[in-house]
Structure 1
Amino acid sequence: MSKPYIRVAAGLILDQRGRLLLGQRPEGKAWPGWWEFPGGKIEAGETVEQALVRELDEELGIHATHIYPWVVHVHEYPKTVVELAFCQVTAWTGEPHGRENQALDWVDPWDIRLDESEHPIAPGGGSLLPAATPPLRWLRLPKCYRISQIGGPEHLETWLGELRQELMRGLRLVQFREPTWQGDADSLHQAFVATLTLCRQHDARCLINSVHPRAWWPQADGIQLRAADAQRILQEDTRPPGWLGVSAHQAQDIDCARQLQADFVVLGHVLPTASHPHDAPLGWDAFQTLANQAHRPVFAIGGQSTATLETARLHGAHGIAALRGALLED
């Protein structure tokens, strides 16, 4: 007998200090005493945003005014299967209060323990619902993902100088990707090590693209798999260690990322770019449709800059990835 399938809109309510609002499930409901993200069932005819606005009013007495669609995630409980449309809520009117007699708590997401227990543990010691673990991990991903485009050893110092400035201004996620390197293997490896070293000096993660030798992969903080490489890795049935990103251009690539349990997807190209002058871009509507199928954070790539970050997030992107121009954490 199949389990009931329930669609839920869930809000990660974040204040200007980056604190996250949690609600405690009251007695009389399933999982009483457990902490959760506010939200509730999506009624027939409602959009995710409409359901979330209604639920936050009913639960907390606030009216959400700025909502970012984020990740659609499916979690199977013992008695139900729940499809959670997670959204980030960054502005509202009113003061949150428990209209259903539930306790509320503002917490720093970085203070929630994710690795020492089967369930995430809030700072006060209470457990969060099992479905809360993935979004708490995803929330720690930066919104900007810088991809190298050095070109050759003669440009390395310029790249390192630019990267240093970006790291000092908040960049925390970098990918080393040099498919057209104009130099020998030794100089390429030296560029990788120099980039990795600089990132670690600034507490930033550096992933290596799968175009580079597998022998180098363990040195990095994770791997960014090209779409074709992701298909090959899937056939090998071995997930690379560390953070895992998958590059995607179509639904088949998104499905592969899900099967590999990738941490995130880089999807594009979204807008016209000089590097793909003859390839039609996805556009924002197609991007959002594919992003909703990923069930994990998605970075938009192709024509992206800090000027497109807001548009990207309003179309379901976690953030943006780019080869050119400074990307700064907002």
Structure 2
Amino acid sequence: MPSPKRSIHVVAGVITDARGRILLNRRTENRDMAGLWEFPGGKREAGESSEQALVRELREELGIDADVGDWLMDVPQVYPDKHLTLEVRHIRSWKGSPRGREGQAITWVAPDKLVRYSMPPADLPVVAALRQPDRYLITPAPAEDDAGQQRWQAQLRTAVAAGHARIQLRLPAGHPQWAALAEQTVRQHRSGVQWLLNRDIALAQALGVGVHLGSEQLLSLSERPLPPGQLVAASCHDLSQLQAAQRLGCDFAVLGPVQATASHPGAAPLGWEAFADLRAQVSLPIYALGGMAPQHIPQARRHGGQGIAAISGLWPS
């Protein structure tokens, strides 16, 4: 019987300079995952608070005295030899000039270039949390009558004006009227919004937008259905589907239902602990789905989530 994995709590800092660049450390040759880049920090020792641990680690690693600021997220991650929790904090300010005091390389990276750096699995969701929306709006299907469609379009304009930057158009696929509505919507609101079409790969290709795959589609595909630059997301309910989404190269996934929902009364909710356990076994950005509203975003981040995905919890009334 294998011995249980040791549990480690690591605290890392997001250090940003006056130009908006973020500091990364490179893991040295004498450590596991040598050569990968990571957010600087280290293990919290017994009796230390997270703030004390991070101040100590940044002094030892970089030679700076840091003022630890706001919490960003916790990332649970399973490795072959350990179960790690990566707690991430912003650094408000610091004294001194950062340098690699332990022989490690350091570099300052523009946020949009972070994805170019190879990182340990636990650091990848942090990059997503820094760069991508913390809420994913899923539209309800519009009514078929003209008045219902006009009301839906007005609500969608309200959602875009409110700043929703990642939106799934959940329209019935294969109907010419809905294809025309999707094209009209994307054309009118292309600037500032990442659009994904529910399940319709061909229409997404034609419109140059993303696609959100159903779980059954996910398992039937052998390769990513859209090129880089067009988002691919997937609905997942278990570990095999999350692993399939990661193998396929999905940009993010939605996992649920985390809580009971009126729209799926027969679906047993996962709960937050199961959400975290599943998230810990992949490195995708994952939105929590099911009974979610904006007030659940901190809870999602506490369990390693990118944020929340919702229809009624985000759709303007």
TM range (shorter): 0.7 to 0.9
**Partner residue in 2 for 1:140:** 131
2:40 pairs with one of 33, 38, 41: 38
Tell me how far apart the structure 1 counterparts of residues 131 and 311 of structure 2 sit (CA, whole Å).
Answer: 22
Q: Give the 3 Å change call, closer, same or farther, for CA 95–150 of structure 1 in structure 2.
A: same
Tell me, yes or no, if the aligned pair for 1:207 and 1:221 is still in contact at 8 Å. yes
Q: Give the 3 Å change call, closer, same or farther, for CA 174–28 of structure 1 in structure 2.
A: closer
Amino acid in structure 1 at the alignment position of 2:156: L
1:298 pairs with one of 283, 286, 289: 286
Tell me how far apart the structure 1 counterparts of residues 158 and 279 of structure 2 sit (CA, whole Å).
Answer: 31
**Partner residue in 1 for 2:90:** 90
Tell me, yes or no, if the aligned pair for 1:13 and 1:88 is still in contact at 8 Å. yes
Tell me, yes or no, if the aligned pair for 2:125 and 2:283 is still in contact at 8 Å. no
In structure 2, runs of 5+ residues without a counterpart are 1-7
Amino acid in structure 2 at the alignment position of 1:142: P
Amino acid in structure 2 at the alignment position of 1:192: A
**Partner residue in 2 for 1:240:** 225
Does residue 148 of structure 2 align to residue 149 of structure 1? no
**Partner residue in 2 for 1:69:** 74
1:109 pairs with one of 99, 108, 111: 111
Tell me how far apart the structure 2 counterparts of residues 33 and 257 of structure 1 sit (CA, whole Å).
Answer: 26
RMSD: 4.4
**Partner residue in 1 for 2:188:** 198
Instruction: Look up the SS of the partner of 1:293 in the other structure.
Output: coil
Percent of aligned pairs sharing the same letter: 30
1:217 pairs with one of 162, 185, 204: 204
Deviation at 1:14, TM superposition (A): 6.0
Q: Give the 3 Å change call, closer, same or farther, for CA 293–142 of structure 1 in structure 2.
A: same
Tell me, yes or no, if the aligned pair for 2:36 and 2:119 is still in contact at 8 Å. no
Tell me, yes or no, if the aligned pair for 2:139 and 2:315 is still in contact at 8 Å. no
TM-score relative to the length of structure 2: 0.73
Instruction: Look up the SS of the partner of 2:312 in the other structure.
Output: coil
Instruction: Look up the SS of the partner of 2:280 in the other structure.
Output: helix
Instruction: Look up the SS of the partner of 1:153 in the other structure.
Output: coil
**Partner residue in 2 for 1:323:** 311
- How many corresponding residue pairs? 293
Q: Give the 3 Å change call, closer, same or farther, for CA 303–56 of structure 1 in structure 2.
A: farther
Deviation at 1:187, TM superposition (A): 1.4
1:5-59 residue CA offsets vs partner (Å, 9 max, x unmatched): xx99573516699945304669998999997521346889x99999767634643
Tell me how far apart the structure 2 counterparts of residues 147 and 223 of structure 1 sit (CA, whole Å).
Answer: 12
**Partner residue in 1 for 2:5:** none
TM-score relative to the length of structure 1: 0.70
Deviation at 1:307, TM superposition (A): 1.3
Tell me how far apart the structure 1 counterparts of residues 56 and 15 of structure 2 sit (CA, whole Å).
Answer: 18
Deviation at 1:131, TM superposition (A): 2.2
Amino acid in structure 1 at the alignment position of 2:137: R
Tell me how far apart the structure 2 counterparts of residues 34 and 252 of structure 1 sit (CA, whole Å).
Answer: 27
**Partner residue in 1 for 2:14:** 13
Instruction: Look up the SS of the partner of 2:185 in the other structure.
Output: helix
Instruction: Look up the SS of the partner of 1:294 in the other structure.
Output: coil
